[in-house]
Amino acid sequence: MDGLLILPSLLPELALAICGMALLVIGVLSKANVFALVSYVAVALFAAVGVLVFLAPTCEIYGGLFVTTDFTRFADVLVLVGAGAALVLSLDYNVREDIARFEFPVLVVFAVLGMFFMISAGDLMTLYLGFELQSLAMYICAAIARDSLRSTEAGLKYFVLGALASGLLVYGISLVYGFAGTTDFVDLAKTLSGTPGYGTVIGIVFVLVGLAFKISAAPFHMWTPDVYEGAPTPVTALFGTAPKVAAMALLISVMLGPFGHVVGQWQALIEILSVISMCLGCLAAIGQKNIKRLMAYSSIGHMGYALIGLAAGTVAGVQGTLIYLSIYIVMSLGVFACIIAMRRKGIAIETIADLAGLSTQRPGFAAALAVLMWAMAGIPPLSGFFGKLYVFSAAVSAGLTPLAVIGVLTTVVAAFYYLRVIKVMYFDAGTPDFDKSAIGVRLVMTVAALATALFVFMPGPVVAAAADAAKALMG
């Protein structure tokens, strides 16, 4: 397929690219501050692209550089949900924090474009291209509050460490290319069906490390707590959701696609990453007083659970990871909406202790955050439990029972700090006196909490879609 025939397959990406550039031009040319307008258009754009994702036919174009399957559609939708909700959260926050610059929504659009290319990559070159586009946009997002010391520090830290990760990734790609002689996923899978050489294995390890950095799996998580804490909260909400989905989807499709025949070479690595992430995520979060740092460590732990599905390396495992991610991003967005709503007399509050007494003053707010925290802890019947159920189930059926046992034990430790947040809200006396939050924030909070609480009654659609996606990837 070539020429104009490929256009329908690229519609979502074209729409993102063209609208992103158009928004940039509008922002530059207009005299007034068009932050709100550009943000609304970007959110509408994401909704429209969400439809286009389903219209684009399943295909491989440009000689396999770019693929569209049920798997990519699933991940695309998750990315759109994460980025769209983050933009909704930023509408009010950025105005109050005096960082209402039109560049932010434009950068988010380009970051999403990069993520789409990562997800749909059928070749190591496309992978790197998408990875870099996404990273560059995200570096700037982290430092968007350029007058704030913490935000610029976060941006710089993310940039330096991110550049290192990109370097490792591209070095790994070059090694794989050098030893396997191709960058195409399908050809790589064919070439690597025998015993791979040391060069290829080292290349795979480097690729893995580069991607592990993006999903903030321990021990490549060093940037996460500082960036989560330093970046403006809507940006943190973005960091915690869309790029993680994209990087995890990429990790899955690379590891099980081109490197799928050499599972034995990398499976142990994924298991180690998973165990370290789960342990670090649950232990390091205990001492945190700042809720954004708490969420950073919690996200490290959650990525550990999501990696269990990949370690299993089966269709059930991929399905488990996808279910885990979909549930996780909804919970995360809800929690970040709650964090944004923590604002007293115009000043954003981030310490957990300030939530004391919330349940008497704002019962709805407290109930929403409590539901999300229970879900994060993985207590049934809330949605978080189902993500864990599916990844543990995949692990046990793939013979990785010890990994599942470590997983469940770390959930108990992790439950301790989630419980503490609930304890502060419900058992401790206090008067938080939070300001009334914006409608967008309340909307995200309510929808996320309801989806989390009621998932148990309607698990079917997500589970079935994840199953289709996993089958599409693994054949």
> Which of residues 339 and 466 has its CB atom nearest to another protein in the complex?
466
Nearest distance from residue 82's CB to another protein, in Å?
Answer: 25
Nearest distance from residue 386's CB to another protein, in Å?
Answer: 8
Nearest distance from residue 130's CB to another protein, in Å?
Answer: 31
- 42: its two tokens: 């970007």
Pairing outcome for strands 66-68 and 59-61: antiparallel
- Residue 348: beta bridge partners? 343
> Which of residues 121 and 352 has its CB atom nearest to another protein in the complex?
352
> Which of residues 150 and 423 has its CB atom nearest to another protein in the complex?
423
Are 265 and 395 a contacting pair, CB within 8 Å?
Answer: no
Nearest distance from residue 314's CB to another protein, in Å?
Answer: 12
Nearest distance from residue 337's CB to another protein, in Å?
Answer: 21
> Which of residues 46 and 374 has its CB atom nearest to another protein in the complex?
374
Contact residues for another protein, defined by CB under 8 A: 359-360, 363, 374, 379-381, 385, 389, 392-393, 396-397, 401, 404-405, 408-409, 411-412, 415-416, 419, 422-423, 426-427, 456, 459-460, 463-464, 467
> Which of residues 59 and 389 has its CB atom nearest to another protein in the complex?
389
Of 294, 291, 255, which Cα lies nearest the Cα of 274?
A: 255
Nearest distance from residue 396's CB to another protein, in Å?
Answer: 4
CA distance 39 to 34: 8
> Which of residues 54 and 416 has its CB atom nearest to another protein in the complex?
416
CA distance 343 to 340: 7
Nearest distance from residue 393's CB to another protein, in Å?
Answer: 5
Place of tokens 């969400």: 50
User: How many residues make up the chain in this entry?
Assistant: 475
> Which of residues 156 and 415 has its CB atom nearest to another protein in the complex?
415
Nearest distance from residue 405's CB to another protein, in Å?
Answer: 6
Q: Which residues of 188-204 are buried (b: 16+ CB within 10 A; e: fewer)?
A: bbebbeeebeeebbebb
> Which of residues 111 and 366 has its CB atom nearest to another protein in the complex?
366
Nearest distance from residue 38's CB to another protein, in Å?
Answer: 39
Backbone conformation region of residue 345, classed left if phi is above 0, alpha if psi is from -120 to 50, else beta: left
Are 172 and 209 a contacting pair, CB within 8 Å?
Answer: yes
> Which of residues 246 and 414 has its CB atom nearest to another protein in the complex?
414
